A and B are shown apart, each in its own frame.
Chain A
Amino acid sequence: MTCKDAAEFIEAIAADEIRPTAEMRAHLESCPACASSLAAARRLEAMLAAHGPPPAPDRFVAAVLQRVRRERWRMEQNVDRLFNVAMLAALVIVAVGVFALMNLSGFVAAADGAWAGLTTVGTELGHRMVPALDTYIAAAGLLLTALGMWWWAERRIPNP
């Protein structure tokens, strides 16, 4: 066995992962350089085993939980902001949609001239709304979706 061969096993022997064979033992006993390497490897092994890192501080768990709650609170704030923006956008879309629909269907103009006969206007409105019913349904759906998102967000995110 050469020193190069022995060098491959020194760490494993020092860590007690393998038992040296008779050939290895003979080499380690006859070679001062390899014996010295083994002694140094054993010292290092002991140092690493003894030189453990410090344990986590006492308040560590509490500090982590505090950060988790803070992060959750921030996320809730963001969801709230997002929801408010979505609600505002939905309201604007619905308002614009309703106005555009009334304008297109001529209701705004008709209403101006129909103050005198509310019954006529009601009938006319009813007649004119029917063709655009799908648009009204879509607007109502959008509003309900927004309300649903709000409800979901409120349930999903517990208060800190």
Chain B
Amino acid sequence: MTDFDERTLIERCRAGDDIAFGELVEQYKNLVYGMVWRLTTDRSQTDDLAQEVFLKVHRGLPYFRGEARLSTWIFRIVSNVCNEARSRRTAEVGRRRPIAEPGRPDNAFADLELRDRLDKAIAQLPEQYRVLIAAHYIDGVQYEALAEALDIPIGTVKTHLHRAKRRLRELLQ
């Protein structure tokens, strides 16, 4: 989507055009859904949280000045929504259930087990690393967008990603 198309779409959404907002959701749904899926520890919440992200986008569009790219702004909203959800969940559940659990005994297939282990290893990463891993391995979020969204230099994004992967490697060993 070009900048012009994006601006036009935002203007149509601001004018209350539901079809335009549907197009916007269609455009970003996989990015948002994927990031939420990666960032939340409770997968059953993914659908609800991803919808909440778009509700916040809808509420915030009148105030979106266009200084950052739309994807960057949405990315920040995803991060905030997942953080809030995690805080709520932590407050509700406390420390009854650790984030990292042993592999499910009924997980018969090796690839599923590997995915399961990877998920749990990602869940154990510090927050800033989890966000980077979640975003970087979903199409559409490049180093530049991550740097802009997190307000850090590109070099720092790369360094953090490398550290995150090194930590993941250690966790998986």
Contacts and interface: CB of A to CB of B under 8 A. Distances in A.
Interface of A: 7, 10-12, 14-15, 17, 37, 40-41, 44-45, 47-49, 51-57, 60-61, 63-65, 67-69, 71, 158
Nearest to A40: B169
Nearest to A17: B158
A45 B27 CA distance: 27
B107 to A, nearest CB: 15
Contact of B138 (A14, A41, A53, A57): A53
Interface string B92-122: 0000000000000000000000110010000
Given A11-B161, A47-B114, 15 more contacts: A10-B166, A12-B158, A17-B158, A40-B172, A44-B168, A44-B169, A47-B118, A48-B137, A48-B165, A51-B118, A56-B30, A56-B50, A64-B29, A65-B18, A69-B18
A12 to B, nearest CB: 6
B25 A61 contact: yes
B55 A60 contact: no
Interface of B: 16, 18, 21-22, 25-26, 29-30, 32-35, 37-38, 47, 50-51, 54-55, 58, 114-115, 118, 133, 137-138, 158, 161-162, 165-166, 168-169, 172-173
A14 B173 CA distance: 17
Contacts of B29: 55-56, 60-61, 64
Nearest to B47: A57
Contacts of B58: 68, 71
A52 B165 contact: no
A55 B22 contact: no
A158 B15 CA distance: 11
Nearest to A41: B169
A145 B107 CA distance: 67
Contact of A67 (B33, B55, B114): B55
A49 B137 contact: yes
Contacts of A47: 114, 118
A51 B115 contact: yes
Interface core residue of B21, B35, B51, B55 (most chain A CB under 10 Å)? B51
13 contacts: A40-B173, A44-B172, A47-B114, A52-B34, A54-B33, A55-B30, A56-B29, A57-B47, A60-B47, A61-B22, A64-B55, A65-B22, A68-B54
B162 A11 contact: yes
